[in-house]
Amino acid sequence: MKDGKNIVKANNNQNALAFFGKITASMTHEIKNVLAIIQESSGLMEDILTMSDNTDLKNKERFIATLDRIQAQIQRGINITSNLNRFAHSPDNVQERIDINDLIQQLSILVSRFAHLKKVELITELDNSPFIIQANSVQLQMLIFNAIEIVLKHIENGTLKLISIHANEQLKLHICYDLMTDDQFNCISACEEWSLIQKRLLEIGIQLLIGSDQT
Amino acid sequence: MDELKILLVDDEQEFVTTLAERLEIRNMNVSVAMDGETALRIVQKELPQVIVLDVLMPGLNGLDVLERIKSIDSKIQVILLSGHGSTKDGITGLKLGAFDFLIKPIDIDELIIKLNEGWKKYCESK
């Protein structure tokens, strides 16, 4: 009976995730449409400015420079919404084939805001070849996110690098912090939740490591 | 070689009209449609050689419109347009005879390259 209740609860959780995912994916699609219109409108303004004679408009160069800044922010918005859209599609399948390097890259963009709030620059250095695993994408992203979050709780400033290296049938995920002190390393390593994440990642073939570099 | 006639199809009116204006500035002959049914009427009447077609539209979706365009004139080259990051629609579209696939927002220079490639392919298949 208890097993039956657990299955119902798991299905409810999956349905709730799927609902949030569906609505978020739909909204990101709408945001992309808005960005596309802004992009074309600013592009049209630039076209008109480029066509016009220099004497037609005072401060023409300043307008063009401002439009360039708008275009750069549109690109930033597109990158964010594209990643958010892919993230929103994560609950579509309970188990799926995932390229872990691809997933880390996407997650790093979504997590960069959390790092930024700690004045930390988050960068990736990922193995060139894909590393495919069969896993639940939402749970896997949560585990890696939680690992990054634990590290961010203990640090401020500097650079946090996510490095993936294929070794035999495993993938080593190094979370490297350039300003890591012994105290910080010990606090993170001794954290109960950290050990739990390490254990769960290892079950799906990912060895999670922490340090100031990948050695 | 005839003049290139382009048809842009997208239910986002602001997007499609602004894009059309940008192409007209570059001396291109452009028509617009905001839904699949209107697009098919323009195809019958004006016979554009290259069509830029949004996948996700109310009413007839882009893939349905693509099939009907190809049954009217298989030489017409269709570039599919999607707001999704996924390439799933693109692959389906290519199987149905689409010439190429772009993800919104698009780069105008890239679009012009694709339009010219589509036109070249249309002329070669005549």
DSSP per position, A97-148: EEEHHHHHHHHHHHHHHHHHHTT-EEEEE--SS--EEEE-HHHHHHHHHHHH
By the CB < 8 Å criterion, does B27 face chain A?
no
Amino acid in position A173 = L
Please tell me the distance from the alpha carbon of residue B68 to that of residue B71, in angstroms, as a whole number: 5
C-beta atoms of B105 and A36 within 8 A: yes
In a domain, B123, yes or no: no
Considering the four listed CATH numbers 1.10.287, 3.60.21, 1.10.150, 2.30.30, the one that applies to the domain covering A2-92 is 1.10.287
Q: What does the pLDDT read at residue A11?
A: 75
Q: What percent of chain A has pLDDT over 90?
A: 58
- Considering only CB atoms, which residues of chain A are within 8 Å of chain B? 29, 32-33, 35-37, 39-41, 43-44, 47-48, 51, 74, 78, 82, 85-86, 89
Q: What percent of chain A has pLDDT over 70?
A: 96
Intrachain domains A2-92 and A96-211 with the same fold: no
CA distance to partner chain A, nearest, from residue B105 (Å) = 4
Per-residue confidence band for B86, with pLDDT thresholds at 50, 70 and 90: low
Say whether pLDDT at A169 is over 90.
no
Q: What does the pLDDT read at residue A37?
A: 95
Tokens of residue A120, six digits? 């930390």
By the CB < 8 Å criterion, does B19 face chain A?
yes
Q: What does the pLDDT read at residue B97?
A: 93
Size of the A and B interface in Cβ pairs below 8 Å: 48
Predicted confidence (pLDDT) per residue in A69-117, tens digit? 999 999 999 888 988 988 998 888 778 889 999 999 989 988 999 999 9
Yes or no: say if A160 and A120 are a contact pair by the CB < 8 Å rule: yes
C-beta atoms of A43 and B22 within 8 A: yes
Per-residue confidence band for B72, with pLDDT thresholds at 50, 70 and 90: very high
CA distance to partner chain B, nearest, from residue A103 (Å) = 14
Range of the domain at B76: 5-106
Q: What does the pLDDT read at residue B10?
A: 95
Exposure on the CB side of residue A201, measured as CA atoms within 13 A:
24
Which of A12-26, A90-104, B80-94, B106-120 bottoms out in mean pLDDT, i.e. has the lowest?
A: B80-94
In a domain, B118, yes or no: no
Predicted confidence (pLDDT) per residue in A125-154, tens digit? 998 888 898 889 999 999 999 999 999 999
By the CB < 8 Å criterion, does B85 face chain A?
yes
Contacts of A181 (CB under 8 A, 6+ apart): none
Q: What does the pLDDT read at residue B49?
A: 97
C-beta atoms of B104 and A43 within 8 A: no
Q: What does the pLDDT read at residue A15?
A: 84
Per-residue confidence band for A208, with pLDDT thresholds at 50, 70 and 90: very high
CA distance to partner chain B, nearest, from residue A36 (Å) = 4
What residue in B sits closest to A30 (Cα-Cα)? B83
Number of domains chain B contains: 1
DSSP structural state of residue B4 = P
Which of A50-59, A170-179, A182-191 bottoms out in mean pLDDT, i.e. has the lowest?
A: A50-59
State the DSSP H helix or E strand holding residue B35, giving kind and residue range, or none if neither. none
- E-strand stretches of B18-116: 29-33, 50-54, 77-82, 100-103
Residues from chain A contacting residue B14 (CB–CB below 8 Å): 37, 40-41
Q: What does the pLDDT read at residue A5?
A: 72
What residue in B sits closest to A31 (Cα-Cα)? B83
In words, the CATH class of domain A96-211 is alpha beta
CA distance to partner chain B, nearest, from residue A134 (Å) = 20
Q: What does the pLDDT read at residue B19?
A: 97
Amino acid in position B70 = K
ipTM of the complex: 0.85
Say whether pLDDT at A194 is over 80.
yes
Q: What does the pLDDT read at residue A167?
A: 83
Q: What does the pLDDT read at residue A53?
A: 75
**Cβ-nearest to A47 among B12, B14, B25:** B25
Question: What integer best gives the mean pLDDT of chain B?
Answer: 92
In a domain, B33, yes or no: yes
Question: What integer best gives the mean pLDDT of chain A?
Answer: 90
CATH code for position B30? 3.40.50.2300
Q: What does the pLDDT read at residue B15?
A: 95
Q: What is the mean pLDDT of residues B28-52?
A: 96
C-beta atoms of A40 and B19 within 8 A: yes
**B126 vs A161, which has greater pLDDT?**
A161
Q: What does the pLDDT read at residue A40?
A: 95
Q: What is the mean pLDDT of residues B5-26?
A: 96
**A212 vs A192, which has greater pLDDT?**
A192
Name the residue ranges covered by the structural domains of chain A. 2-92, 96-211
Reduced to 3 states (helix: H, G, I; strand: E, B; else coil), residue B67 is helix
In a domain, B23, yes or no: yes
CA distance to partner chain B, nearest, from residue A59 (Å) = 22
Please tell me the distance from the alpha carbon of residue A82 to that of residue A25, in angstroms, as a whole number: 10
In a domain, B10, yes or no: yes
Per-residue confidence band for B84, with pLDDT thresholds at 50, 70 and 90: low
Q: What is the mean pLDDT of residues B2-11?
A: 93
**B88 vs B111, which has greater pLDDT?**
B111
